[in-house]
Every structure is written in structure tokens, then in C-alpha cells.
Structure 1
């Protein structure tokens, strides 16, 4: 059962990097919330609801230069039952401009997932960055 929540988180990262809106919609609950903590900048969010989160993602893609990837590592399901799960993962975010590859940021994700219509979906995403973007 732990593999399914891990897969949902992996689908999120791939969909985010590709700006695959249908897949993002499929992996987020309608009432999802996202909150980010950035050193020196405080808390950003929460962004509440799938529509607001997707707008935030689109704005981020428009503003970015180069190819950005969200590499998730040490993915661990820390709590689970038949309907909910919590997943923690380290983030390494990179940018490839074609001329160079840069590490943009590192941090820790905490995902709260909820099973809905037989699928695991992200109900809450909390990202604590180790450095400011």
C-alpha cells in the first residue's frame, strides 16, 4: 500500500515539470492546499483549492527560465490508513538553461494524501525550502 502514495507523489513531480495540467488535476484533490516556507521570505500561501494551485503553477512556469526539474528523494510514507497517507520527501530543484545546469533549491516536502475514487490524491502540500529562490 505504501507504493501507491509514493507513485502519486512521483506523478505530481513529473506533471509539475511538464506542466501537464490534466495529470496535475488528477493528482490533486479539489480542496487541496499548498503552503511554502522560504528562509528570509516567510510563508507563502496557503493557496487553497485546485483552481488556485493550478494558477500558481502556471504563473511559475511562465516566470521560469530554462528547464526546471523537481527531483524527489528519500520518499517515505510516514503514516497511512485505508483513506489517508502522509509522504515526506527531500527536494532537489535544478534548472538546465542549455548552457549550464544549476541547483536552484533544496527542501523538504510533506504531502498529505487522501484516497478518492480509488486513487491517491494530494490534499495538502507543505514545502519547507532550505534556501530562498
Structure 2
């Protein structure tokens, strides 16, 4: 069960960086919510519903320059039963512009996951950044 949760978190990060809408759709519940906290800007969101989250991701990709990578580490499952779980992971976000590699941000992700159709899916995502972007 733990491996499946880690896999869902990793699938999310890879799909996010590659703008793989089909994989993002598969790893998010239809009623998923995203909430971000950023120093100096407070709480942003929540963005509610898979369609709205996917639109937000597309907008973010359009606005970015270079190749962003979301490196998630130290994934810890903090609560779990057979149908729901919570996982936390540290974020290190980098950007490669082709001329330089930059560390963009660090933070902590909290994922509330739900088992659906034999797969773990992200029902709620909270990201608390350590710095403003």
C-alpha cells in the first residue's frame, strides 16, 4: 500500500513537469482541491475541481520560461487506512533555462489521497512554500 502512495506522488510530479494532462487527470480525483501558501501573499486558493486544477496548471506552464522540475523527497505517509491516506513530501523546485540552472523554491507538500478504481488519487493538495516566487 505504501509503495502505491509513493507512486501516486511521483506520478503527479512527473505529469506536472511534463504537462501530461492525461496522467494528471488519472492521478487527481474529480473533486480535487489545491491550496497554496506563499510568504507575502498568504493563502492562494483553493482551486476546486480537476478541470479547474488542470486549467491552472496549463496557465502556469504557459507563463514559465525554461524547464521546471519538482523534486519531491522524504515522502512520509502520516495516516492511512484502506481507502484514504495522507502523505507529506519536501519540495525542491528547479528551473533549467538552457543557460543556467536555478533553485526556484522549497516547501512542503501535503497530499490527501483516496483509493478509487484500484488506484491512489490525490483528493487534496496543499503546498506551503518557504519563499515567494
TM-score bracket relative to the smaller structure? over 0.9
Shift of 1:59: 0.2
Shift of 1:70: 0.1
Q: C-alpha deviations, 1:70-112, integer Å up to 9, x for none?
A: 0001011111100001000000000000000000000000000
Distance 2:124 2:22 in 1: 18
How many residue pairs align between the two structures?
133
- Which residue of structure 2 lines up, in the alignment, with residue 9 of structure 1? 9
- Which residue of structure 2 lines up, in the alignment, with residue 129 of structure 1? 129
Gaps of 5+ in 1: none
Distance 1:3 1:126 in 2: 21
- Which residue of structure 2 lines up, in the alignment, with residue 40 of structure 1? 40
Distance 2:41 2:101 in 1: 25
- Which residue of structure 2 lines up, in the alignment, with residue 64 of structure 1? 64
Flag as ranges the 4+ runs of structure 1 deviating above 6 A.
Answer: none
- Which residue of structure 2 lines up, in the alignment, with residue 109 of structure 1? 109
TM-score by structure 1 length?
Answer: 0.99
Distance 2:3 2:80 in 1: 11
- Which residue of structure 1 lines up, in the alignment, with residue 73 of structure 2? 73
- Which residue of structure 2 lines up, in the alignment, with residue 28 of structure 1? 28
RMSD across aligned positions (CA): 0.4
- Which residue of structure 2 lines up, in the alignment, with residue 98 of structure 1? 98
Distance 2:96 2:79 in 1: 35
Gaps of 5+ in 2: none
TM-score by structure 2 length?
Answer: 0.99
Shift of 1:7: 0.4
- Which residue of structure 1 lines up, in the alignment, with residue 84 of structure 2? 84
SS of the residue corresponding to residue 103 of structure 1 reads strand
SS of the residue corresponding to residue 94 of structure 1 reads strand
